[in-house]
Structure 1
Amino acid sequence: MVEIGNNITGNTSALCANDFCKIANYIWIILSPVIFVFGLTSGFLMILVLVRIKFQRSPLMFFIFVLTVTDISILCVGLVRIWILETWDFDIRELSDVSCSIFHFLIYFLMQYSSWILVFVTLERFIKCKYIMYKSLITMKKCTYMVISVFILLAALNSHYFWTHSFVITENNTTSCNVTPGYERFDDWYIKIDLFILCVIPFCIMLSLDIIIMKSLKAARTFRRSSIAAPQVYNRMKKMDRKLTKMSVITNSYFLVSTLPVSLLFILTVYLNSAAEPLYSIFTLCGSIVYTLQYSNYAVNYVFYTIYDKRIRKELKRILRIAKPRFVQQGSQYTLRSSSMETSQSLSATSTNVSIRSISGNVT
């Protein structure tokens, strides 16, 4: 792991040479580019799709758009920095005192912001499922206010990084990006606060709303069974309900698994002497695993929430040209028409030749 508690460390392979640290270093070097390329490619494709389907007209698509931009920013700010550090032993945060503060602020702020955008996505689905007056309760104006309000609130909450983290003189008389002296206790407490803002509170809200959604869908399915005569219509609606339930279970489970271990590991490093061996090597390996898992969440976040949307799949197929282009069909039709025309022309020419020969024979 690159960060152990308050100690901002360097390249893991340079700090310890045992097998745990080497494995951790290989995880970062190999998996980081894969996650980054996948997340960046799918993210920009998703933005293109959302722009083409006019995301600003749908509250859900608007939240997905904000989520996609936020998750791409997390990958660029956090994952790229760690990959550069593990590959070339160069930390971008060490460039200046300003970069030290900004990178700490951005990574905490963006990760928390992404979690609360997911809460808004679940809230939108809940209101749409539970209330008939959905369009009057969730308007684009209200959604914009919600996104901006949480943005300002979380930015203010994490603004302390601009004075609690800076260049600090180490024991070797060198400067390092670390906690400003006098704020060590505050930083230890904020790690616990971050656990609740990033993971616990958002997960509890999303889980509660999803449980209510699934109960509402079950009640609606029971009502449809007695009111809908056609079994085909009922089975189709039942299949859609199962897809929504499956999506909710997968997204909530992956969110918890990818965000909770990182926060718990940080809290453990506060109470344990993580700088001493063999704990340092163990924390280094565990950190690389849980951090990679967390960044993978930001690479597939929006994919989970849009994979069941027919409009997005259809537009994505058009962009990737998975669906058969129209001009090919037109070309094939044109080929069939031209072939039939050529056949008819050859048949008419043959009949004409036969007629001429019969006429010439009669004349003779």
Structure 2
Amino acid sequence: MAGTPSPLYALNVSGMAGVTTSLDTTMDNDDDLYSVMTPEELSETENLFAAALVINKYYLWVLFALGFPGNCAAMVTIFRMRSIGTFPVFVVLLAVMDSLALLVKLLHYQLIVHQVDMGDAGCCILRFLGSWTSAYSSWILVFMALERFAAVRFPLKMTMHSGCNAHKVVMVLVVVGVVIALIYMPLLWTNETVTAATLQCQYKADYARFMNGVYYWVLAALYAFLPFCLLTVFNFMIARQIRSSLKVRSVMRNIKLLPVSQNCHDNSLQRQRPHRNLHAIQTQVNLMLLAATGCFVLLTFPICIYMLTEPYWSTAQGYTHSNAVKFLLRQLAFVFVDSTHAVNFYLYFLTARRFRHHFLRLLACRSCTCSIKSACHQAWHGSDQSELEDL
């Protein structure tokens, strides 16, 4: 018999309450399970449950401690760089949604763990916000990759219309956010708080069959499957296009030019410098994009596998070895996928020299005393003019 898919595909909170309850009641009242489990199996089951519960209890705190400051730092750095174009729009909006996703998930988890009665309205709102922010951040990355592919495939056209494209990108992202919100809208009236052995937030009985059936696969595709597949394709296409562009540039660089006068040579160098600067900027942006999307693909792969197999993965409920294995694998899958909301700033910092340079300068200026803040301000505004332009 196929198992029932967990309704909390994006919010990993039901596992803690459900498994803790089964642990307490089974160990106290059901001695039959011990008669069919060897001491080795019992010990291994205990260790698996203990490891899963520790992960479930602390991993969101760790991700929030790393991700929330990192996302804020990414937004401040981009704003201080006074960047133009479309890529900063994606970076800022992605940082905002990642921060909200971590905040809502952690809040929802803490309310469930501490058995705070949030009411049906609170249950619905938190599950909607947590699921929507998670899915929306994934699709921001998808459109970020799409924009980068267009930039490397049609660089001149994207450069000529960068200001117009920025406004179009904002409008497209607003529409995408609204569409995703509409798809997740049923979560606002299909959930309720239930108090049995513990207080839990789950689907209402009238909607449970539909929500755990067709709707489960719709949201699974929107949340994980489609972003995973699209980003895999876009990353391959972007890498291939960059490789082709590098070959062309290498050929052009090796072409021997006819001798020219000194004045013509100087004018040629002046004309080439902006193009070199633009190429350097695009290289930094491409590195940031490939790092973020590549990491997303790797970290999302486990949850895709788990969500595909969960409806058909039947396990004996309660304090059993199979249930312990499934619960542990669920925690690991959610650790990976929730990490996508916390790692982008560190990927930008490691891969983009210009982003790293501006962030370190921001820290240096923030640590300046009042007597040298003016010098810091001058260094910030003056030296940027002599360097390559920002993203």
Structure 1 length as normaliser, TM-score?
0.75
Whether 1:74 and 2:96 are equivalent positions in the alignment is no
**Aligned residue for 1:125?**
148
TM-aligned CA deviation for residue 273 of structure 1 = 3.9
Alignment of 1:271-310 (within 5 A): 271-274=312-315, 275-276=317-318, 277-305=320-348, 307-310=350-353
Secondary structure at 1:5 match in 2: coil
Whether 1:319 and 2:320 are equivalent positions in the alignment is no
Q: Choose which of 167, 173, 196 in structure 1 pairs with 2:193.
A: 167
Mean alpha-carbon deviation: is it higher for 209-218 or for 246-255? 246-255
TM-aligned CA deviation for residue 158 of structure 1 = 0.2
State whether residues 48 and 324 of structure 2, in contact with CA within 8 Å, keep that contact through their aligned partners in structure 1: yes
CA distance, structure 2, for counterparts of residue 90 and residue 324 of structure 1: 39
State whether residues 97 and 133 of structure 2, in contact with CA within 8 Å, keep that contact through their aligned partners in structure 1: yes
Aligned-partner residue type, residue 82 of structure 1: Y
Change in CA separation of 1:150 and 1:239 when aligned onto 2, cut-off 3 Å: closer
State whether residues 4 and 283 of structure 1, in contact with CA within 8 Å, keep that contact through their aligned partners in structure 2: no
State whether residues 217 and 241 of structure 1, in contact with CA within 8 Å, keep that contact through their aligned partners in structure 2: no
State whether residues 235 and 294 of structure 2, in contact with CA within 8 Å, keep that contact through their aligned partners in structure 1: no
Change in CA separation of 1:264 and 1:103 when aligned onto 2, cut-off 3 Å: farther
Q: Choose which of 174, 177, 183 in structure 1 pairs with 2:201.
A: 177
Change in CA separation of 1:254 and 1:177 when aligned onto 2, cut-off 3 Å: same
Unaligned 5+ runs, structure 2: 9-13, 25-45, 257-272, 376-391
TM-aligned CA deviation for residue 30 of structure 1 = 3.8
CA distance, structure 2, for counterparts of residue 105 and residue 125 of structure 1: 30
Whether 1:22 and 2:29 are equivalent positions in the alignment is no
State whether residues 261 and 290 of structure 1, in contact with CA within 8 Å, keep that contact through their aligned partners in structure 2: yes
Secondary structure at 2:362 match in 1: helix
CA distance, structure 2, for counterparts of residue 140 and residue 280 of structure 1: 49
Q: Choose which of 150, 153, 158 in structure 1 pairs with 2:176.
A: 150
Query: Who wins on radius of gyration, i.e. which is larger?
Result: 1
Secondary structure at 1:177 match in 2: strand
Change in CA separation of 1:175 and 1:222 when aligned onto 2, cut-off 3 Å: closer
Alignment of 1:169-318 (within 5 A): 176-188=200-212, 189-229=214-254, 250-274=291-315, 275-276=317-318, 277-305=320-348, 307-318=350-361
TM-aligned CA deviation for residue 81 of structure 1 = 3.3
Change in CA separation of 1:290 and 1:80 when aligned onto 2, cut-off 3 Å: farther
Structure 2 length as normaliser, TM-score?
0.70
Aligned length: 320
User: Cα RMSD (Å) of the superposition?
Assistant: 3.7
CA distance, structure 2, for counterparts of residue 157 and residue 29 of structure 1: 30
State whether residues 122 and 209 of structure 1, in contact with CA within 8 Å, keep that contact through their aligned partners in structure 2: yes
**Aligned residue for 2:41?**
none
Secondary structure at 1:158 match in 2: helix
CA distance, structure 1, for counterparts of residue 191 and residue 87 of structure 2: 37
Secondary structure at 1:265 match in 2: helix
Change in CA separation of 1:148 and 1:280 when aligned onto 2, cut-off 3 Å: same
Which whole-Å deviations, capped at 9, do the CAs of 1:177-224 have from their partners, x for residues lacking one? 211112222212222222221222223322323322222222222222
**Aligned residue for 1:341?**
none
Whether 1:62 and 2:89 are equivalent positions in the alignment is yes
Mean alpha-carbon deviation: is it higher for 279-288 or for 147-156? 279-288
State whether residues 67 and 117 of structure 1, in contact with CA within 8 Å, keep that contact through their aligned partners in structure 2: yes
Aligned-partner residue type, residue 126 of structure 1: F
CA distance, structure 1, for counterparts of residue 366 and residue 121 of structure 2: 49
Unaligned 5+ runs, structure 1: 331-364
Change in CA separation of 1:283 and 1:318 when aligned onto 2, cut-off 3 Å: same
TM-aligned CA deviation for residue 122 of structure 1 = 0.9
**Aligned residue for 1:348?**
none
Secondary structure at 2:201 match in 1: strand
Change in CA separation of 1:305 and 1:196 when aligned onto 2, cut-off 3 Å: farther
